[in-house]
Structure 1
Amino acid sequence: MNLLNPNKDTFTLRQTMQRSDFECYHYLNPVPPVVDFHEHEFYEVFFFLSGDVNYIIEGRTYQLRPGDILLTDNRDIHKPDIRPGKPYERFVIWIDPDFLARANTLGTDLTRCFTDASEKKYKRIRPDSGELTHLRGICEKMLRSRDDDAFGSGTLAHVYLIEFLVYLNRAYFATPESIRKDVTENEKVNEVVAYINDNLAEDLTLDRLAEACYVSKSHLGHQFKTYTGLTLYQFIIKKRVTVARNMIREGAPVMDACMQCGFNDYSNFLKAFKREFGRSPKEFSNRA
């Protein structure tokens, strides 16, 4: 928890992980924290326990119930909208993609729920009461092991994470389609977001997007901000630097990431990257 500013959410303050493979936290805020739109270089499991919260992910707003779980990957731009009046409580698990790749060699693709959620553009799991109790219990064991100095505690924490991911996938694929009614979305905005994600290297002007998605410029600009919480320009820049960061993390040369993500001018790329992540692409490349 941030001691200097207890109302500033850790999601916003940190976009990198301190532990090598994963981090697991339990948060309880009597006063809603201030959270900006953000993205991470890891997979995130957001396990909602209490509060009055809507969660915006890539233009879709999820009305959360206690027990809902949200899945975001390292491309998703997201933000919780937290209203006062109820304690805001949740588990948050951050998982390094490289760890998941190694874990998948055990014989099961533990990223299936994340990849399927991204393909279907629907990021929520609503476990039944039995699944919910089980998943919460695993989170609590994971936290106890993380904080324990006893022999093998670190190994146990990893074992509990693997167990959690197995049952998370089971809960995801058992979630009924009927829960989609608790989402606020706009078909045209979804179409524009998908077009941006698929065409980052292109000239994504308002004129180009309006023409490609068959919508008026004025209507597109207004509706996009209403549903995503960001202007078109803000969303495109965030998305471009996010994908560039992921490419650099995976070993791509900085200039390749710059050009393939639609930055035709390196100086503009450098400024946008440093503004978003607090360091230059070269520094990030050296760290990766």
Structure 2
Amino acid sequence: MTVLKTTDVLNAMIPHFYFAIKRLATPSWKIPHAVFQHHNLMLVIDGEANLLCNDAEFKATSGDIVYFKPGDMRRGDTNPNCLVKCYTVDFQYACPIMENGSWVNLDVALPFPAHSHIQDRYLFRRLKELFEEFMRHWSSGHENRTFRCRAYFMEILLLISHYFENNAINYSSIHKVEKVINYIAANYTRKLTLKELADSIHISPSHLGHIFKETTGETPFEFIINYRIARAKEFLEMGCSVTETARLVGFGDMFYFSKYFKKIEGISPTTYTGL
């Protein structure tokens, strides 16, 4: 059988949800001391919980991810002076993949520790947003809620998996780059400088250049050119002339528009309109 990366496994995963709640614990809240036969994923957003997973006891506080797998011995309660608030989901899953023309269900475990802390505040914020959307759809009762909840839950698992596999991922940088990309999308029709982009998020041009290249694989200039050419193709497909298209996407010089269009697409904009 082919050895798959964690991302490949998660992309094939189909979760089924048994229970989900945004828990605001009361002083008497407890997890019974027992073995459960389903997975449980918890994101603590406030307060403090005292938890046990098999032989390991630990305190879970804001920013902590807790994962119990089937067969784990569990127990838990909350600090009565600091009531825990968390998102929690009970689930099972299948991982069907096509192998040699037949469907095979992978029996794989999530590679998550029982207890860990998300140190990146931007990732923590994104996880809270995803869990909140998951809970909103779960509680809606709509007939398509499972489909929507699966989409949010799989993004949660992918983000957590990437974080565990590579703690060097800097979600603060990603957040900054996303803001710059949004700024470019809103202003690409005019001349943009690295300084202006950097000023839009209050960092130095050199730092922006570094984190932008690290995050996207392109320099800001390369990204702007590629974005303009992508938009140019849309205008050309809508019937705009080559000259008008160059103006609409921020190229003041037809020579440079044609040069970059051919460099990226392999053909001239005039040839593209005839396809």
After TM superposition, the score normalised by the length of structure 1 is 0.45
Greater relative CO (CA pairs within 8 A, separation 6+): 1
After TM superposition, the score normalised by the length of structure 2 is 0.47
